[in-house]
A and B are shown apart, each in its own frame.
Chain A
Amino acid sequence: MITIPYLTALTTYFSYGLLFAFGQLRDFFRKTVDWWSHSTLQGYAPICLGLEDFYIRRLYLRIQDCFNRPISSPPDAWFDVVERVSKDNNKTLNRTTRVQRCLNLGSYNYLGFAAADEYCTPRVIETLKKFSASTCSTRVDGGTTTLHAELEECVANFVGKPAAIVFGMGYATNSAILPVLIGKGGLIISDSLNHNSIVNGARGSGATVRVFQHNTPSHLEKVLREQIAEGQPRTHRPWKKIMVLVEGIYSMEGELCKLPEIVSICKKYKAYVYLDEAHSIGAIGKTGRGVCELLGVDTADVDILMGTFTKSFGSCGGYIAGSKELIQYLKYTCPAHLYATSISPPAAQQIISALEVILGEDGSSRGAQKLARIRENSNFFRSELHKMGFEVLGDNDSPVMPIMLYNPAKIPAFSRECLKRNVAVVTVAFPATPLLLARARICISASHSREDLIKALEVISSVGDMVGIKYFPAEPKKQQLEEANRVKLE
């Protein structure tokens, strides 16, 4: 539930209406001017039909410099952002050679493995020398090395399932696996805020797709009952298979999935549960095993566990963990296994080393320290932002914190002002989020020190005052009040 001040909702609609009206006016003039000039392409159909690219041309391009910023160093706690200039009012941007050292609040670097690590990097370089950068083959042809087998075993043990299969790309894991698991005659019920990879996979599978209200188990039950009673679309025969797709942490909301309730509902109606732990594996839970550990759900109850290695392990790729029969079946049928190049050996070694650090098998307690630090950092940052009066979404313990901006003009204002003060934030607007709910998303990392967080809080507070996003009243500083009371008593 998001709480918006009513006046802000009205002004946001008005701003979008104004932007839309100006965009239409400019389009009208462009059409009139172009009617007079002769086009060199006669008889060709236009690339974009009608209004399709209106949003990109008239709204996105105006604030293009807030997105797609190139960086020129590893995405550690501090990194180098390349400066860009534009000579035609943001229609095209040119890179300069100047860089700006900024505090990184946008990278998914939850455990700090994104930069050179004292345990992982030497091993990765050794693997690079031994196995070279790419296997140059698919898994079935010649691309399965001892590293791949070791990695799959490590992942299966870490996650708590009998077997696992690993792919080279996280997005492709979702979009290639879902069509294999379910097909025509099946039913997919997915959360309304699921990631695009899941939506793509669900659409590509050919099954009927229904959506339930975000994180609302009662609505899921209602949809399940309705669909089971109705059956397949025209024949009304019973569904061949029902699968419910949810995510561990929703990256745009920062909130955890209500997994215990959803799993119990799925057990009741005999539906399969597919859990996408892209943002939660390695980052939450006491030993980093994800949302199942945090919420106390037995991993045997969740049928298919999916995750990616990009966020907490500093590598690339995705995995699916499940029963031995499931993984065996996937190895025969999944196109990402049969036709796509296998995961690069240094990347696989990075994941294995990162897992060893997290589990403490490297002989030090750095893994446990990192996990404790990210939890402390997230809770500290979130509570401080709440005290300052910002509207921050997300549950406790989640390292993803969206700060609500709402108005379309505050998006570039917040982004540019923060960059001027050497803090790089990621702002997200329509269409990745609903129209009204534009936000700045902060990702906390275990490599942020306390000083970094305090500096970030100061910058965000001053920019927030300037831009006007402190929608809630700020809490008074309790310590000062107590001291004042003590002085009065004395």
Chain B
Amino acid sequence: MYVKMAPPADLNRNTEWFTYPGVWTTYILILFFSWLIVLSITNCTPGMAWTIVNLGHFAVTYHFFHWKKGTPFGDDQGMYNRLTWWEQIDNGKQLTRNRKFLTVVPLVLYLIASHTTDYQHPMLFLNTVAVLILVIAKFPNMHKVRIFGINGDQ
């Protein structure tokens, strides 16, 4: 099965890879396989495994999407050094398909995690905190906002 791909017009090499076919599928598959791996390694219930995946996903995506600024290569001369990855994708345009997809994924994970743990106490609190932080960070109004100067420029 083949997919066609035209070279993208996005000049920011840090974010242009997200416009290719197959990225969404890979993201979902990575989450699913990490759930399977967590289940195989630890001796816990499926619900607990989903909670662990949710919290791990929160840590990883918050760090790479909303904390780390700039790009991993030097030849764009620091043009994006004040922007996090989330603020860079789609050239800063809000509410594109990619952004909507990335906002929906933590919500779906939250629903799955809370449902499979039967909404019990410690897991529900942690999951809610995770999803709240992630979704609020992705709001269009939060573009380039640094609350209390956290993660601001030096």
* Bound CA–CA A10/B1 (angstroms): 12
Interface presence of B8 (CB below 8 A): yes
B70 touches which of A5, A9, A52, A430 (Cβ 8 Å): A52
Check B25 against A1 for contact (C-beta < 8 Å): no
Check B78 against A17 for contact (C-beta < 8 Å): no
Q: Which of B81-126 contact A (CB under 8 A)?
A: 81
How many positions in chain A have a CB within 8 Å of any CB in the partner chain?
A: 37
Check B70 against A49 for contact (C-beta < 8 Å): yes
Check B73 against A56 for contact (C-beta < 8 Å): yes
* Bound CA–CA A165/B82 (angstroms): 42
Check B23 against A55 for contact (C-beta < 8 Å): no
Interface presence of B149 (CB below 8 A): no
Check A434 against B78 for contact (C-beta < 8 Å): no
Check B6 against A6 for contact (C-beta < 8 Å): no
Chain B positions 1 through 31: 1 when the CB is less than 8 Å from some CB of chain A, otherwise 0:
1111111110101001100111101100110
Check B26 against A14 for contact (C-beta < 8 Å): yes
User: Which has the most chain A C-beta neighbours within 10 Å: B25, B74, B78?
Assistant: B74
A435 touches which of B6, B9, B16, B21 (Cβ 8 Å): B16
- Contacts A1-B6, A55-B72 given; indicate if A50 touches B26 (C-beta within 8 A): no
* Bound CA–CA A50/B25 (angstroms): 30
Stretch of A208-216, A260-268, A371-379, A414-422 that contacts chain B: A208-216
Main secondary structure of the interface of B (DSSP, over half): loop
* Bound CA–CA A211/B7 (angstroms): 12
Check A9 against B20 for contact (C-beta < 8 Å): yes
Residues of chain A within 8 A (CB-CB) of B6 are 1-2, 213-214, 216
* Bound CA–CA A264/B9 (angstroms): 22
- Contacts A6-B21, A13-B26 given; indicate if A434 touches B2 (C-beta within 8 A): no
Residues of chain B within 8 A (CB-CB) of A56 are 73-74
Check B30 against A51 for contact (C-beta < 8 Å): no
The smallest C-beta distance from A56 to any residue of chain B, in angstroms, reads: 7
The smallest C-beta distance from A457 to any residue of chain B, in angstroms, reads: 24
User: Which has the most chain A C-beta neighbours within 10 Å: B21, B68, B71, B73?
Assistant: B73
Residues of chain B within 8 A (CB-CB) of A297 are none
- Across the A-B interface, the 8 shortest Cβ-Cβ residue pairs: A9-B22, A54-B72, A435-B17, A13-B26, A52-B74, A55-B72, A55-B73, A3-B2
A-B residue pairs in contact (CB < 8 Å), sample of 28: A1-B4, A1-B6, A2-B4, A2-B7, A3-B3, A3-B4, A4-B4, A4-B5, A5-B1, A5-B2, A6-B22, A7-B1, A9-B3, A10-B22, A13-B26, A17-B26, A49-B78, A49-B81, A51-B72, A52-B78, A54-B72, A55-B72, A56-B73, A56-B74, A193-B7, A219-B9, A431-B73, A437-B5
